[in-house]
Structure 1
């Protein structure tokens, strides 16, 4: 990737040196890209390099192994939501998660489309209920794309496709009501919207986020990078205040 011009969603910005920053962004065809932006902390660039913003990015590198230099032109700003506690927490978590777990320069077009839709929903949905569902589905898709997908189509014990209400935390598979009765205290809840299109109420939404959060922590954040999961905790707390 010596040279590349593409649209990109800013996912993380980390200060590097006195004036620059290493910026990680999700692109449609090239996946997560890292680039060094000179003057990233300037008055001109700070509003551009806000996580969740959509930019036109140019990457240039002399060799494949060199960190590319990056320039960015703003296409869509979400900076207006920084002052709104709930949308800002949603934007922060979605982008921080993406930057933390995706390997660089591997194509994930479905994740790019899903993240774009999620960020758009956070900014435009009439209520948090709509985009909270999209968030849980994005987390579920991310797990699947990275090889940790959940098998929710049939009961892992009986093979039945009916009355699936639990998820086994050990095998990441669905469990029916009858098969899971004895072990229900050890199982995770399985809301219907994680399996098929549905419009859940808040209790099911939180159950869905409980499931995806459990597996995200296990596979990516257990005993490390807890600062990233802290952003998720802030988001869940703010969502709970909405329905309190």
Structure 2
């Protein structure tokens, strides 16, 4: 019998049977894993199995192909944040995105660390603009980890690393000011913080970054298939635009 014991982040919970639930959670060692939690819909376990919560997970399965049985103990509760509509929408989006796009059983340690950082930022950042910047970085990393990374280090037209200011919606490559001349309206503006430059990103920077990552998530990862998930992101970005303006 295979046994996995790890800290994990709850990403999705679905009712199963009369009292149970199927849990999907992201671990650092094993990536996204799924398990059946007996009594997962009980009064005791419902506050633990909340997307965004950090848990101590134990997963037992007889074979690799079998859905294992899972137990969970609460490590960090982010349930209080769900009382804030904007924070709740962000947690719902980032955990749902993770559950919907990552293959099960494949380690993504950088994504685990980044997801935990985004959730922490939602809880402690002094403004929505700052945690929204962390969210954009997470989406950019997820694209890269799934094989759809953007080249923001050099101009896709000239190969130069100087004066990078735009991103091509077709190639996902950066475009310099000179190469973009006359085509600026067809390109995304490249916020400096997406290239690792220090400083507090502006409202415009954050919204520009989310426009970039949203475009490529839709095209390359979600492929327009999960319309409900994409619609929830559109609502989140619209609310962020009003909140950080």
TM-score range, shorter chain: over 0.9
Q: CA deviation at 1:135?
A: 0.6
More displaced stretch, 22-31 vs 158-167: 158-167
1:196 is displaced (CA, Å) by 1.6
Conservation of the 8 A alpha-carbon contact between 2:129 and 2:244: no
Aligned residues between the structures: 244
CA distance in 1, matches of 2:172, 2:125: 31
Q: Report what 2:233 is aligned to.
A: 232
What's the CA shift string for 1:142-183, capped at 9, x where partnerless? Answer: 111111100011111111111111111111101111111232
1:121, CA displacement in angstroms? 0.7
CA distance in 2 between counterparts of 1:104 and 1:236 reads 28
Structure 2 CA distance, aligned partners of 1:89 and 1:237? Answer: 11
Deviation of 1:23 (Å)? 0.9
Output aligned runs, 1:81-230, within 5 Å.
Answer: 81-198=81-198, 199-230=200-231
The corresponding residue for 2:244 is 243
Computed over aligned residues only, the root mean square deviation of the Cα atoms, in angstroms, reads: 1.2
Contact 1:8/1:56 (8 A) holds in 2:
yes
Residue 221 of structure 1, CA deviation: 1.9
Which residue of 2 is the match for residue 26 of structure 1? 26
SS of 1:51's equivalent? coil
* Structure 1 residue runs of 4 or more that deviate by more than 4 Å after TM superposition: none
Distance apart, 1:184 and its partner CA = 2.1
Structure 1 unaligned regions, length at least 5: none
Alignment of 1:4-43 (within 5 A): 4-43=4-43
TM-score by length of 1: 0.96
**Structure 2: runs of 5+ lacking an equivalent:** none
